[in-house]
Amino acid sequence: MPLSSHTPAFATPLTAPEVLAPFATAPAMLAPILRTQGFAVLGAADVCSLAGVDLAQLQAWTPLWDDLPPDNYLRDGGRYRRRRHSCFVVDGKAVTQAPHRPHWQPVEYNALHGGMQRHFESMATAMVHSAAWPALLAWLGRVATDVKGAQPWFVEAHPFRIDTTDGIGRPTPEGAHRDGVDLVAVFMVARHAIKGGETRVFDAHGPQGQRFTLTEPWSVLLLDDARVIHESTPIQPLAGGGHRDTLVVTLRAGGFQGV
């Protein structure tokens, strides 16, 4: 699919010119842009302001990515992905952790790994029990409600590390895809000694698309999953080993997938 060169007039670049920077959506325009464009990027300062958290609280989680177990379900035989997984329900201001369950996606959304129950270890209690975690999820619930209408949101959270153990690491081995949910949030946590990892977002029903690289820790890409498909390009090491850490949070109306 061709990539659009359109740059929103309200946007401001987030990164230095050596990579193609995303353009940050003004917070007041977040819901309208998600409704019309299907995706938006917020810088870390706006994430903190909107969610009511301090950047230091989010940064305190970053070392937890050093303790992610390997993903043993990669059907390409790779060893480059580590992750955890936990589930929650957001109903207005109330955020509750759901019983631990396997992650499941239908084949129509994930041709590579769909159709099987994947069992991952739970997220670290230091993260889930911190004050910032329910605040972050409650804010994402508000974003989903602003775009889709008020209802309970069934949330799956995935801390990911993609590394260069195999020479390259693939953030999205399934290729350009949708997740079968209502809202997807991809938080950039850290990039270390890598090149690549470019984000590509395409209109699910047309030829338009945009490409950029998330680099700012705790900036976020928000996606209306019904409107767009997305992928990230492989990463390569700059020297020695490198990695790309993200936190992916999905929100879905009506229940968890696979129930």
62-96 pLDDT tens trace:
999 999 999 988 878 789 999 999 999 999 999 99
Indicate whether 6 pLDDT > 50.
no
Residue 162 · residue 243 · CB < 8 Å: yes
Pick the CATH number of 12-71+78-252 from 2.60.120.620, 3.10.20.30, 3.90.1300.10, 1.10.1200.10: 2.60.120.620
Handedness of CA 142, 145, 151, 153 (dihedral sign): negative
pLDDT band at residue 109, thresholds of 50, 70 and 90? low
CA distance to 11, 73, 129, 135, 145, per residue, from 199 (Å): 17, 23, 30, 26, 25
pLDDT tens-digit profile of 180-229?
Answer: 899 999 999 999 999 999 999 999 887 788 999 999 999 999 999 999 99
DSSP letters along the chain, please? --------TT-EE-S-TTS---EEPPGGGHHHHHHHHSEEEE-HHHHHHHHT--HHHHHTTGGGGGGPPB-TT-TT----EEE--EEEEEETTEEEEPPP--B---TTT-TTTTTS-B--PPPPHHHHTSTHHHHHHHHHHHHHHHHH-S--EEEEEEEEEEE-TTSSB-S-TT-SB--SSSEEEEEEEEEESEEE--EEEEETTSS-EEEE---STT-EEEEETTTEEEEE--EEESSS--EEEEEEEEEESSS-TT-
Distance CA 212, CA 209 (A): 10
Terminal-to-terminal C-alpha distance of the chain: 34
Highest mean pLDDT among 18-27, 97-106, 145-154: 145-154
Is pTM beyond 0.95? Reply is no
Average pLDDT value over all residues in the chain: 89
Indicate whether 16 pLDDT > 70.
no
pLDDT score of 177: 86
Q: Tell which residue, 129, 128, 153, has the closest CA to residue 141.
A: 153
Enumerate the domain spans of the chain.
Answer: 12-71+78-252
Residue 190 · residue 13 · CB < 8 Å: no
> CB atoms < 10 A from the CB of 1, how many?
12
Distance CA 176, CA 126 (A): 33
The amino acid that residue 240 corresponds to is G
Indicate whether 10 pLDDT > 70.
no
Indicate whether 140 pLDDT > 90.
yes
